[in-house]
Structure 1
Amino acid sequence: MRAVIIALGCLATTFSLPTLASGQNQIADAKAATRIFWNQLYSQGGTSLYCGQTFAGESGQLKVSPIYSSKQLKSALRCITNRQCSIMTPTYPYMTADLHNLYPALSRVELARRNAQFGELDASVPSKFEDIGCDMKTSFQLVEPRDEAKGNIARAIFYMHIEYGLPIVGQLQMYKSWHQMDPPDAEERARNDRIESLQGTRNRYIDDPALAEQLTGN
């Protein structure tokens, strides 16, 4: 009897985990999120995350870059196709469409970023994109962005972790250091306000940076 109770308790824990997540529930389609991203969130232009280059609006030289990448998301959820992921995890479409996880990036840079993990590289590693004035290092499926982007990246990852129960991919202490080194600025806070108006959720780590100290891992 005791074994049955323990087993049931384990099952309850397993199946209750997704209910801890909240996230956004307004945008359920990545394509819709892309339209909203360019037509509303960045309708007045902005600055690319990894290179800090200003832009006036949507163009073929820009991509929507998910910080918690599609590959990492599917790995965390243990699914392969979008359809399978949606069946296994009903919140999956909302995760892929969450604007807090999406930033503008130069298309060329996004190609290097999308299948790589964030990390810190030796100072001797040169930037792969010096020819376009972009300070982002890449090496062996690792990328280290410019310092001015590191806090934004950390807070997006913290958000996806706490809102959807996703594991933190990479070193938590590194992300905490990035978060402290590059605190939220006026542009990031304004973006947080705009996203709230579009999908109804805020990134708590932008509103209250001290909350990151409570994160203990996966």
Structure 2
Amino acid sequence: MQYFKNIRFSIVFFTLILIQQTSLANNQKIESFSKAKKLLEKQVYQNHQVTLYCAAKFKTDKQVIFPDGFHTTKYIKRSKKIEWEHVVPAENFGRAFSEWRDGHNKCVSSKSKSFKGRRCAEKVNVEYRYMQADMFNLYPVIGAVNALRSNYNFTMLPGEESSFGSCAMKINNRKAEPPQNARGRIARTYLYMDEAYQRYSMSKQQKRLMNAWDKTYPISEWECARAKKITEIQESENSVIKLRCKSL
């Protein structure tokens, strides 16, 4: 009898451990994308106001200080301020939700028109809202760069010229190649999202590229500090970053 009691205790104990580990694996606290952006601005990037791709500095009012030689011929107005970009595009994981693909009976406008896509998934599905607001996947970027990158996957674009002058961000034929200084952070973000959320899964080709970038472009002290701050706010860990930071 005591033997079976011990077995039941062990099962309950390890189940609780598993639940606790799962709760730490991804965002289950912040539902609001808008709130996530404000928290990043005020509590994570307040002393490191630098964009992901172009390493442009920005002010507390989101105004961008352009690096020497930066230019764009599109989205001029949006280029003047930073925006918070999903490195793993929202569409990449959003299409795993039926509300995004097909809509929902609650997704009806004031004019009685049905809608779907991001707006519907955000309105109806709490799991989607958690994924969309996960701060590990959000970075400040120049608005025009965010607009032109759109939801394009990352790859290598040999022979292509920069789309933004001195900022070596290349965008062509619905693909994007980021500057070297951003590749490690991008890779570890993709690897985190792939590990943390069952709804998202990288292609084999994309995973090979991200693993290569992860190894080629090592983690920095700032990346570790950023992850630590997000963990404290979001109450979830980025196991990919946590493991890499042990080497510093």
TM-score bucket (shorter structure):
0.7 to 0.9
1:71 aligned partner? 91
After TM superposition, the score normalised by the length of structure 1 is 0.79
Instruction: Tell me how far 1:56 sits from its aligned partner.
Output: 3.5
**Pair 21,187 (structure 1): closer, same or farther in 2 beyond 3 Å:** closer
**4+ residue runs over 4 A deviation:** 19-22, 86-89
Structure 2: gaps spanning 5 or more residues: 1-21, 64-80, 101-116
Which of 59, 81, 101 in structure 1 is aligned with 2:137? 101
Q: Which moved more, 1:163-172 or 1:31-40?
A: 163-172
Which of 149, 153, 156 in structure 2 is aligned with 1:113? 149
Corresponding letter in the other structure for 1:29:
S
2:60 aligned partner? 57
Structure 1: gaps spanning 5 or more residues: 1-18, 211-218
Conservation of the 8 A alpha-carbon contact between 2:86 and 2:139: yes
Instruction: Tell me how far 1:35 sits from its aligned partner.
Output: 1.2
The Cα RMSD (Å) is: 2.3
Corresponding letter in the other structure for 2:148:
A
| Identity among equivalent pairs (%) | 26
Which of 186, 191, 206 in structure 1 is aligned with 2:226? 191
Corresponding letter in the other structure for 1:24:
N
Corresponding letter in the other structure for 1:36:
L
Cα distance in 2 for residues equivalent to 1:83 and 1:20: 26
Conservation of the 8 A alpha-carbon contact between 2:99 and 2:125: no
Cα distance in 1 for residues equivalent to 2:99 and 2:215: 34
2:7 aligned partner? none
Corresponding letter in the other structure for 2:201:
P
Deviations 1:68-102 (A, max 9, x none): 11221222334423464258753111111110000
Which of 175, 193, 207 in structure 1 is aligned with 2:210? 175
1:38 aligned partner? 41
Conservation of the 8 A alpha-carbon contact between 1:45 and 1:56: no
Specify the structure having the higher radius of gyration (Cα): 2
Which of 129, 132, 145 in structure 1 is aligned with 2:178? 145
Q: Secondary structure at the match of 1:46?
A: coil
Q: Secondary structure at the match of 1:154?
A: helix
Cα distance in 2 for residues equivalent to 1:155 and 1:87: 29
**Pair 20,89 (structure 1): closer, same or farther in 2 beyond 3 Å:** farther
**Pair 136,92 (structure 1): closer, same or farther in 2 beyond 3 Å:** same
Conservation of the 8 A alpha-carbon contact between 1:76 and 1:167: no
Aligned residues: 189
